């Protein structure tokens, strides 16, 4: 069976355990536990996670007040660029003594005269000490704290403009990039207009430049018919 002190995340607290009012400074680097994040954002397993703070001894346990910092690898959810930065989060956690933890599990304190000072605040996270109360294991605390602190949609910067939805151009590098979009409601009319214009140009070209009898004969017939009608229209009635 593994000993508590053999854990990579174990912190010795024997010198302050069961000594209310005593404090122990924590300034150490631990390996990042597994399971922090996903393929979009996370902390690589084994990366250096620094913890700066202190354990404060109270009546029924130890209170850890610290700042946790870890290198976060992520991908911007708008422009898909890689992000690498140190992520910091403040934490307050309670490590109850074994007797206090047992009393809590039964719904009443072991000693009715003892006032519970810490752990009553629901915002505090509670983690166990080793059986003899000499060590606090920070593995679960580090994982829980960092997972909850990671943003759901990481951004390379707050005003990231992302990628063009039509061609994928990075709008941060090309802020003036745009596409002329035709209103779909008028797309059919635009197509009909283009078709009519093309037919008009074709007829005009045939009329002006063609010398073929097959083409000019009907046009001349139409022209003669038009002239005849025009002449009769101009004569006075008898």
Other beta carbons within 10 Å of 120: 9
The pLDDT value given to residue 119: 42
Q: What's CA 1's distance to the chain center, in Å?
A: 42
DSSP codes of every residue in 149-211: HS-SS--SSTT---B-TTT--BTTT-TT-------GGGHHHHHHHHHHHHHHHHHHHHHHH--
How far apart are alpha carbons 100 and 155 in whole angstroms? Answer: 43
Task: Please report the DSSP string for 77-146 in residue order.
Answer: TTT--EEEEEEEEEEEEEEE-HHHHHHHHTTS-SSTTSPP-SS-STTSEE-PBPTTS-EEE-HHHHHHHH
What pLDDT sits at residue 205?
75
pTM, to two decimals? 0.64
* pLDDT of amino acid 201: 79
Return the pLDDT at 81: 93
Confirm if 105 and 111 have CB atoms less than 8 A apart: no
Consecutive 10-residue runs of the chain (238 residues): their mean pLDDT?
78 90 94 91 95 95 96 93 93 86 51 44 74 90 94 91 90 87 69 81 72 56 53 50
Phi/psi of residue 203, each to 5°? -65, -40
């Amino acid at each position: 069976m593994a000993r508590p002190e053999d854990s990579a995340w174990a912190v010795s607290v024997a010198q302050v355990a069961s000594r209310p009012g005593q404090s122990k400074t924590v300034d150490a680097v631990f390996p990042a536990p597994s399971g922090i994040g996903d393929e979009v954002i996370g902390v690589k397993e084994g990366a250096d996670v620094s913890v700066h703070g202190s354990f404060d001894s109270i009546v029924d346990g130890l209170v850890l007040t610290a700042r946790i910092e870890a290198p976060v690898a992520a991908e911007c959810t708008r422009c898909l660029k890689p992000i690498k930065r140190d992520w910091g989060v403040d934490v307050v956690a309670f490590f109850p003594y074994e007797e206090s933890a047992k009393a809590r599990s039964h719904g009443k304190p072991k000693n009715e005269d003892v006032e519970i000072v810490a752990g009553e605040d629901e915002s505090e996270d509670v983690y166990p000490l080793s059986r003899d109360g000499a060590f606090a294991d920070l593995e679960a605390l580090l994982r829980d704290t960092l997972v909850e602190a990671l943003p759901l949609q990481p951004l390379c910067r707050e005003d990231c403009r992302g990628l063009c939805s039509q061609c994928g151009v990075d709008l941060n590098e090309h802020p003036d990039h745009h596409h002329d979009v035709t209103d779909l409601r008028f797309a059919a009319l635009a197509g009909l207009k283009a078709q009519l214009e093309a037919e008009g140009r074709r007829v005009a070209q045939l009329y002006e430049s063609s010398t073929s009898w097959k083409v000019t004969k009907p046009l001349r017939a139409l022209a003669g018919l038009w002239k005849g009608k025009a002449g009769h229209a101009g004569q006075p009635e008898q």
